[in-house]
Structure 1
Amino acid sequence: MQYVRIRSIEDKLFAAMHRLMGVVFPPEEVLAFELWKEPIEDPAIHVYVAIHEGEVVGATEYRYDPKLRVAMTDFTIIGRPDLGIGRFLYANREKDLSRLQKESGTIAIGMFAEIYDPRKDEAALPGAGNVNPMHPAVRREVLSHLGYRRLDIDYVHPSWDHEGKAVQGLDFCFRPADDEIVSIPAALVTTFLRQYYSALPNKPQEWFDMMANIELRTDIALLPI
């Protein structure tokens, strides 16, 4: 299996990845093909695909902010079972994140990730019936095994279709580098989320309300998932 970075929507591998996104994620979570042009050319955004026998069978996108010393897994896609794609993507992503930390002279304090909670909003779940490893219940357990915990907030984020809808039914999670950490600063959460969603000009009132509530707090507890 090959781990290949995509840097342009003109790359034929991008079209294959975008189709795969449409299979496993709901429409509001998938940025339109043409709107990927600038993000994928951003050197700070790392988009890689897993290629098996010439086919894109998985993908991951992530970033690392050396100023905040936090990373974010934007998404991980496993397109086929029984190929070890999840482990392959994880191992290569961790290796690359170690490189980014070394190059920036920093050490990460942890990594954010969003994850669906199938108990919250079944109607909002991706079409995961097509790819069993992508079912939210499976992915939650994988994140738990990796050390992620959910932030003690009522999470909502703006839809990636640029319509400004509130996407609910998810948890915002964090994997601390030190497993003994039981909370993180609220200011870290708001600073990161403002930067992360700066790419979406249309945001729902629910998102602003959530941010205002977080700002009233000093720390955010990390809870089991």
Structure 2
Amino acid sequence: MEYIRITNINDPLFVQMHELMKDIFPPEEVLEFELWAEPLEDPGIRVFVAVHEGKVVGATEYRYYEDFNVAMTDFTIIGQAGLGIGPFLANKRAEDLKALAEANGKELFGMFAEIYDPYRVGHHEFGGVKPMDPYVRREVLAHLGYRRLDFPYVHPSWNNDGEAVEGLDLSFLTIDPDVKEIDADLVVKFLKRYYTVLSNKPLKWVEMIESLEAKETIELKPF
């Protein structure tokens, strides 16, 4: 299996990846094809695909913020079971982020990830691929060491229509497992930068940010 970075919307592998995204994710979670042009060319956004026998069978997008010394996993897609795609992507991503942090003269502090809460959201098939089932994904993140940030989370729809997407948690993986809480200021700054691209912020998101700005720290809780 190959781990290949995509940096151009015209890459045939990106066409495959975008189709895979539409098969797996609900519509409000998938950025329109043409809107990917700028993010793919952004050196700070890292989009990689897992290619097996010439076919895109998985993908991951993530980014490393040098000034925050944290990363964000935007998404991980496992296109089919039985190929070891999940561990392959997780290991390759970890190697890449470790190198990026070292080049920044630091050890990575941790990584954010959004995760569906299947106990709160309606049923979603995620393309019928069992490894993408929200229950499975939540347990996988827990095994990797992610914990839920203890506040009610919403995010702006990637349709940029001003709708709030609910039913998710914002989680965080600390490289040091003994860390019990993180600075609320880090979370606020990260979320503001991460969603800069979406101009139409829902009121619920704005209120969530204001609530976080009134806090000093946010606890990390088990899923």
The TM-score bracket by the shorter chain reads over 0.9
Structure 2 equivalent of residue 102 of structure 1: 102
- The separation in 1 between residues aligned to 2:28 and 2:214, in whole angstroms, is 29
Deviation per CA, 1:135-155: give whole Å up to 9, x if none.
110000000000000000100
- The separation in 2 between residues aligned to 1:23 and 1:224, in whole angstroms, is 30
- The separation in 1 between residues aligned to 2:71 and 2:58, in whole angstroms, is 20
Q: Which stretches in structure 1 are left out of the alignment for 5+ residues?
A: none
Cα offset, 1:3, TM superposition:
0.3
Structure 2 equivalent of residue 22 of structure 1: 22
Structure 1 equivalent of residue 178 of structure 2: 180
Q: Determine helix, strand or coil for the equivalent of 2:106.
A: coil
Moved segments of 4+, more than 3 Å: none
Q: Determine helix, strand or coil for the equivalent of 2:151.
A: coil
TM-score (ref. length: structure 2): 0.98
Cα offset, 1:129, TM superposition:
5.1
Deviation per CA, 1:107-160: give whole Å up to 9, x if none.
21110000000111215x4x3251111011000000000000000010000001
Count of aligned positions: 223
Matched, 1:115 2:108: no
Q: Which stretches in structure 2 are left out of the alignment for 5+ residues?
A: none
Matched, 1:155 2:121: no
Q: Determine helix, strand or coil for the equivalent of 1:47.
A: strand
Cα offset, 1:98, TM superposition:
1.1
TM-score (ref. length: structure 1): 0.97
Does the 8 Å CA contact 2:58/2:78 hold for their aligned counterparts?
yes
Deviation per CA, 1:85-120: give whole Å up to 9, x if none.
000001110111111112111221110000000111
- The separation in 2 between residues aligned to 1:86 and 1:131, in whole angstroms, is 12
Q: Determine helix, strand or coil for the equivalent of 1:201.
A: coil
- The separation in 1 between residues aligned to 2:34 and 2:56, in whole angstroms, is 20
